[in-house]
Amino acid sequence: MAESTFPKKPAEGQPSTVRTGDQVVRLDSERKQRRANVVIDKDELEAPVALEPAALEAPAREPQPQQAPVAVAPPASAKPKQGLTRPVLFALLPVALVVGGYYYVTGGQVMTTDNAYIQAQSLGVSTDVSGTVQEIDVHENQAVKKGDVLFRLRPASFETALAAAQAQLGTVRNQVLTLQASYQQSLSQIEQAQADIPYYEAAFQRQQDLLKTSTASKASFDSAQHDLVAARQKVSVTKAQAQATLAQLGGDADQPVEKNPFYLQAQSGVDDAQRNLNDSIVKAPFDGVVTNVDALQVGKYLPASQPAFSLVSSTDLWIEAEPKETELTYARPGQTATISVDTYPGAVWHGTVASISPASSSSFSLLPAQNTTGNWVKVVQRIPMRVTVDDIEGKPPLRGGMSVVVDVETGHARGLPDFVANLIDRFGQKS
């Protein structure tokens, strides 16, 4: 009789659940994993597993595809391998402290301030003569050299004044020459008058002798006496005229005409007229750049001493810095400085501390602070300091008002902190 195809009932003590072969293998694998707590090997999964009787009695089914081994994470008890990062950091910490302390103690020799600006010599170009502008030879922001013509005034009036002064000089020269000739003539007249005196003396003596013998008349005697007195008087008058002429010649008749006071006076008039003519042509007093040229136009009447436009120097430059008063402890005139301009990153200029102001900037203000109300607020003051620029040539152009950073080499290191120095002194005294 054929066996029934229905599954048999499970025996007593066995679970009533019927498991397939795959389920049994999976359960068995899980039990092994819990016992050994290790990763399941592929060979163990492929090894034949004894089926329980209940599983053998189950009807045969199609074989299921074998599952891949499941990777299980390592147990929590496994410790990761420690690296060298932490020991290296602990070893570098004291080295960093030593290096940082060294740089702190030896540092502080450079005083740095960014409250500094470039200053340039500038002036309003003007002339001391009045006139009408005839020509402008420059344009806005043009670079000029010393002696270049900036503008010209109409020269007609100045040329006329110069011609008149030169004519006056010629007249005075002729007058001086006339005085010299008059003096020589006076000397000749003196000699002539002195030469006539012996003749009149002899005639007077002869008339006097004849009068004693009653040979000559009284009238002839009086005439001879008058001629003698007149001859002597003529000598005195001629000498006085010569002396007056000599005084006009400056006391020296042989003096050159160019040294005569009258001639020098006339020459000064010529020089003044020539100066006015020269001042009608305005030239640059130094190298620089002209600005605000449009304020002057051709045909404009320019009064004397009125600025026409401005000229800013391109060579006479300096740095006007205002560091804090606490930064000037070791700053002195003559110390070297390094200058960095914000406009030209990477470019460096070298300079020298020229001077340090004797007072703060607020001391020169129109209304200085007067803290007399009792509400005292201490504010760190700023002291002006001037730094010259030593190497302008070959560098980018500097302009007035540019912002700069000035580093002054004071040569004084920061040193140890006060409390450290005090501790060292105490230990030194105890030892």
Retrieve residue 368's tokens.
């200085």
Q: Which of the 8 DSSP states describes residue 7?
A: P
Alpha helices for 213-355 (secondary structure H): 218-248, 261-279
Q: What is the mean pLDDT of residues 5-31?
A: 52
Architecture of the 111-120+312-361+378-430 domain: Beta Barrel (2.40)
> Which pLDDT belongs to residue 2?
42
> Which pLDDT belongs to residue 75?
52
**pLDDT for 272 beyond 90:** yes
Reported in sequence order, the residue ranges of 322-377 that DSSP labels E, i.e. its strands, are 336-341, 348-356
CA gap 337, 320 in Å, rounded:
13
Lowest mean pLDDT of 44-48, 250-254, 295-299, name the range.
44-48
For residue 87, how far is the Cα from the chain centroid? Answer: 54
Lowest mean pLDDT of 7-21, 120-134, 154-168, name the range.
7-21
Q: Domain residue spans in the chain?
A: 111-120+312-361+378-430, 157-275
User: Could you tell me the pLDDT band of residue 201, with boundaries at 50, 70 and 90?
Assistant: confident
> Which pLDDT belongs to residue 431?
66
User: Could you tell me the pLDDT band of residue 387, with boundaries at 50, 70 and 90?
Assistant: very high
**pLDDT for 295 beyond 60:** yes
Token pair 């302390």 is found at: 101
**pLDDT for 301 beyond 70:** yes
Establish how many alpha carbons lie within 13 A of residue 248's alpha carbon, considering only the half-sphere containing its beta carbon.
Answer: 16
Q: Does residue 293 or residue 47 have the better pLDDT?
A: 293
Retrieve residue 122's tokens.
């500038």
> Which pLDDT belongs to residue 285?
93
**pLDDT for 204 beyond 90:** no
CA gap 409, 332 in Å, rounded:
10
φ, ψ at 164 (rounded to 5°): -65, -40
**pLDDT for 40 beyond 70:** no
Instruction: Find the distance separating the first CA and the last CA of the chain, reported in whole Å.
Output: 119
Quote the percentage of the chain above a pLDDT of 70.
76
Q: What is the mean pLDDT of residues 425-431?
A: 73
Nearest Cα to Cα of residue 130 among 163, 114, 95, 154 = 154
Retrieve residue 107's tokens.
């540092």
- Predicted confidence (pLDDT) per residue in 211-267, tens digit: 777 776 778 877 878 888 888 888 888 888 888 888 888 777 778 888 888 889 999
**pLDDT for 71 beyond 70:** no
Lowest mean pLDDT of 227-236, 288-297, 413-422, name the range.
413-422
What's the whole-model pTM score? 0.59
Element (H, E) at 131: strand 131-136
Q: What is the mean pLDDT of residues 22-29?
A: 60
Quote the percentage of the chain above a pLDDT of 90.
38
